[in-house]
Amino acid sequence: MGKKIGITGNEAIANAMRIANPDVCGAFPITPATEIMQRFCTFVSNGEVKTETVLAESEHSAMSACIGASAAGGRVATATAAQGLALMWEMLFIASGLRLPIVMGVANRALSAPLNIHGDHSDGMGARDCGWIHLYCEDAQEGYDNMLQAFRIGEHKDLRLPVMVGIDGFITSHSIQTAEYLDDDVARKFVGEYQQTLPALLDIKNPVSMGALILTDYYHEYRKAHEQVMMRVFKVVEDIGKEFEKISGRPYGLFESYRLEDAEVAIVVMSSAAGTTKEVVDEYRAKGIKAGLLKPRLYRPFPYTQIAEALKHVKAIAVLDRADCWGGSYGPLFTDITGALYGLDKKPVLINKIYGLGGRDYMPDQAEYTFNELIDLAKGGKVKAVKEYIGVRE
Amino acid sequence: MATPLNLKELSKKEELFTPGHRLCAGCGAPIVAKMVVMAAEHPLVMTNATGCLEVSTCISENTAWKMPWIHSAFENAGATIGGIEAMYRSLKKQGKIKEDIKFIAWGGDGGTYDIGLQALSGVMERGQDVLYVCYDNGAYMNTGIQRSSATPLGADTTTCPAGSVVQGKPQGRKDLAKIIAAHQGTYVAQASPSNWQDLMKKVRKALDHKGPSFMNIIAPCNRGWRTQLNDAILMSRLAVDTCYWPLFEIQDNITTITYKPKEKKPLVDFLKPQGRFKHLFAPGNEAILKQAQDDVDAYWERLLKEEACFAK
């Protein structure tokens, strides 16, 4: 059996990387993800993993080295956050376009300016359309579990796609939480050995050219192929989630529904804020209010159909975004949820709250404020503002 | 045993960089690429920064490379080859690879002197066992002849065109070879396709060197230089014989000049056949020509002193 321990989210991610035992890690330090690679490099220095590190001079080079290493043929992992993810942005498209199953832990953090090292989802949301698989975690436990599953998902022969696993910067990356590690042997058996499915660069007997110039003749078809492979992700994520549940007792699907089955009002929120919201759901349920929660786990590709099915009976829904798309638009998660629900004949009332930017605490009173508004809307109240910043200093 | 560096023996080697690519007629880059590949005696894995050589050699389902090759982006050939070499070390250590493989990164001067300098410095500083080859044609030729930090003084380019006020590029070239030589444990060489045996010897030395190597190879571009299509080798020879492009190597901080022209030709012999310097020969621009000659002389004199300093 596994053992219960107190760990930070970064430790959890680093420990899952130790289990996966990548052949190469290319990395560059950045707060709040630095600790992931620090801890991992201790495993390297102590011979607990076989990994060769490329301690690069920037995140752009770190991801470029990961791309070279993955194309060469082997398991590759890294970690980053915020400005680092932004600097990698160009290379994220190239990693996915070349179909390289690189796994990356991300301690989600605000983007400059102003400079802020604390948690929000601006970095991950900026990278949401780069062709990667995105998994978001509520706590350190999910960080460990998702990171282990990420290697299986990305390296799956039907996918061969890069995966990023997001934990909330500082809130999850640095706070010590109770979690349970699997026995190393069980975890290693689950992750398995890296399998090369096509000739890699180091297969000198079968030389391949990768990264060709492809113009108007076939670029469009390549992009369509990427869309098609992304649509295969759902089944793989669900299958691997079920397999993981068998060894851990912890269920993983495309998203988590919490007291949602008969809910009349619901909050959709990702990552650590889901934990706080669940407490408030319980509090409102105790008062006889049918409150519920949906927490996306697989954010890209986005399970539009499945989420619509899970939310269709709810009367009023608030989508909480820890990032914004400025200029009169709505938060990124909100536009995904509205897109998911658009096809329903009877649509729930939808509002969008922007919360917790730059590490601003998300407190139970913000969830209560939101649920109170939803209760009014569910009774036929009028929407005062579709989008609102909450937790703002006056 | 290594193939002797003579044409008879080299002509028997299989061409791993093959004809049919789409580089311009008379381009110096594929001549350089062919020489580098032919010099190698080990299996090679290559990466290519975005640029002329890259866009013209691997298009849709056609590739000119009969060896593993990857292009990912413009500024990262140093980092990409570093990742490949790290995977090789990892798999070799684990016993999953038996062969001895060598690793080469290609970049033009824009991808090397400018946007790729940081990634290049990174892989050199980490001491990775790779060879980075810069084919230097002195401007961003692929995007249409814009100035780079390798563009020589006074050259007319599309972003510093010779006009009534500005007479081409106001600055001289960055001394990249010396910058890379400042990284510990490197082998650095400058070469020219005109002196092909010297070039190929340096490639072999670089690939045998345990650690990072860098070669800067002049690759005339008739589009950007505005020269005759059949003048690539002639122009690279004039670059060497005027000492505009000295042939030397630096290892363990020791400079060795590998070719000294019997008679150092005046720089104008190199500049005059090139349309990009035409305006410098108009009245009033004598000072720029003098400055260009003075710069070449000073650099050559310093190289001679550096070599003498370490002479045994």
pLDDT tens, residue order, chain A (394 aa):
567 999 999 999 999 999 999 999 999 999 999 999 999 999 999 999 999 999 999 999 999 999 999 999 999 999 999 999 999 999 999 999 999 999 999 999 999 999 999 999 999 999 999 999 999 999 999 999 999 999 999 999 999 999 999 999 999 999 999 999 999 999 999 999 999 988 999 999 999 999 999 999 999 999 999 999 999 999 999 999 999 999 999 999 999 999 999 999 999 999 999 999 999 999 999 999 999 999 999 999 999 999 999 999 999 999 999 999 988 799 999 999 999 999 999 999 999 999 999 999 999 999 999 999 999 999 999 999 999 999 999 8
- CB nearest to A24's CB, from B43, B90, B118: B90
Is pLDDT at B285 greater than 90 in this prediction? yes
Minimum Cα–Cα distance from B128: chain A residue: A54
Q: Kindly give the pairing relationship between strand A163-168 and strand A103-108.
A: parallel
Q: What is the structure's pLDDT at A64?
A: 98
Same fold, A3-247 and A255-389: yes
Mean pLDDT value of segment B274-293: 98
pTM over 0.90: yes
Structure tokens at B81: 């080859």
CB contact under 8 A, A55 and B45: no
| CATH number 3.40.50.970 is the correct assignment for the domain at A3-247 | yes
Query: Which residues of B, range 210-229, sit inside 8 Å of A by Cβ?
Result: none
| Of residues A219, A231, A224, the one with CA closest to residue A300 | A231
Eight-class DSSP state of B277: G
- CB nearest to A66's CB, from B81, B83, B94: B83
Structure tokens at B172: 């001289």
Query: What are the residue ranges spanned by the domains of chain B?
Result: 14-309
Interface test with B, best of A25, A61, A78 (most B CBs within 10 A): A61
Total H helices, total E strands in chain B: 12, 10
CB contact under 8 A, B83 and A65: yes
CB contact under 8 A, B70 and A71: yes
Q: What is the structure's pLDDT at A328?
A: 79
Rounded to a whole number of angstroms, the distance from the CA of A87 to the nearest CA of chain B is 12
Rounded to a whole number of angstroms, the distance from the CA of B146 to the nearest CA of chain A is 21
Distance, in Å, from the CA atom of A378 to the CA atom of B2, rounded to the nearest integer, reads 82
Distance, in Å, from the CA atom of A70 to the CA atom of B50, rounded to the nearest integer, reads 19
Interface test with A, best of B57, B58, B72 (most A CBs within 10 A): B72
Residues near A58 by Cβ (< 8 Å), separated by ≥ 6?
A: A28, A87, B118, B119, B122
B122 inside 8 A of chain A by CB: yes
| Of residues A393, A386, A315, the one with CA closest to residue A353 | A386
Rounded to a whole number of angstroms, the distance from the CA of A198 to the nearest CA of chain B is 13
| CATH number 3.65.10.10 is the correct assignment for the domain at A255-389 | no
Interface test with B, best of A25, A201, A217 (most B CBs within 10 A): A201
Chain A residues with CB under 8 Å of B117 CB are: none
CB contact under 8 A, B70 and A64: no
Distances (CA, A) of A224 to A11, A82, A169: 38, 29, 34
pLDDT digits (tens, 9 = 90+) for B216-245: 999 999 999 999 999 999 999 999 999 999
- CB nearest to B68's CB, from A26, A76, A201: A201
B91 inside 8 A of chain A by CB: yes
Distance, in Å, from the CA atom of A355 to the CA atom of A283, rounded to the nearest integer, reads 21
Chain A residues with CB under 8 Å of B89 CB are: 52
Rounded to a whole number of angstroms, the distance from the CA of A229 to the nearest CA of chain B is 20
> Which amino acid would we find at residue B121?
S
Q: What is the structure's pLDDT at A93?
A: 98
Query: What are the residue ranges spanned by the domains of chain A?
Result: 3-247, 255-389
Q: Kindly give the pairing relationship between strand B247-251 and strand B187-191.
A: antiparallel
Q: What is the structure's pLDDT at B310?
A: 83
Distance, in Å, from the CA atom of B234 to the CA atom of B20, rounded to the nearest integer, reads 24
Cβ atoms within 10 Å, residue A349: 18
| Of residues B97, B89, B119, the one with CA closest to residue B107 | B119
Q: What is the structure's pLDDT at A1?
A: 56
Minimum Cα–Cα distance from A60: chain B residue: B76
- CB nearest to B73's CB, from A52, A90, A209: A90
Distance, in Å, from the CA atom of A201 to the CA atom of A68, rounded to the nearest integer, reads 9
Q: What is the structure's pLDDT at A394?
A: 85
Which residues are registered as beta bridge partners of B44? B102
Number of cross-chain residue pairs from A and B with Cβ atoms under 8 Å apart: 167
Superfamily for B14-309? Thiamin diphosphate (ThDP)-binding fold, Pyr/PP domains (3.40.50.970)
Query: Which residues of B, range 69-88, sit inside 8 Å of A by Cβ?
Result: 69-73, 75-76, 78-88
CB contact under 8 A, B80 and A201: no
Distances (CA, A) of A131 to A94, A194, A255, B46, B146: 9, 21, 19, 26, 33
Distance, in Å, from the CA atom of B145 to the CA atom of B131, rounded to the nearest integer, reads 26
- CB nearest to B88's CB, from A91, A94, A202: A202
Q: What is the mean pLDDT of chain B?
A: 97
> Which amino acid would we find at residue A378?
A
Q: Kindly give the pairing relationship between strand A298-300 and strand A133-136.
A: antiparallel
Is pLDDT at B277 greater than 90 in this prediction? yes
Chain B residues with CB under 8 Å of A56 CB are: 79, 82, 122
Q: What is the structure's pLDDT at B66?
A: 97
Q: What is the structure's pLDDT at A35?
A: 97
Mean pLDDT value of segment B93-121: 98
CB contact under 8 A, B72 and A211: yes
Chain A residues with CB under 8 Å of B50 CB are: none
- CB nearest to B91's CB, from A65, A74, A214: A74
CB contact under 8 A, B69 and A61: no
Chain A residues with CB under 8 Å of B125 CB are: 57
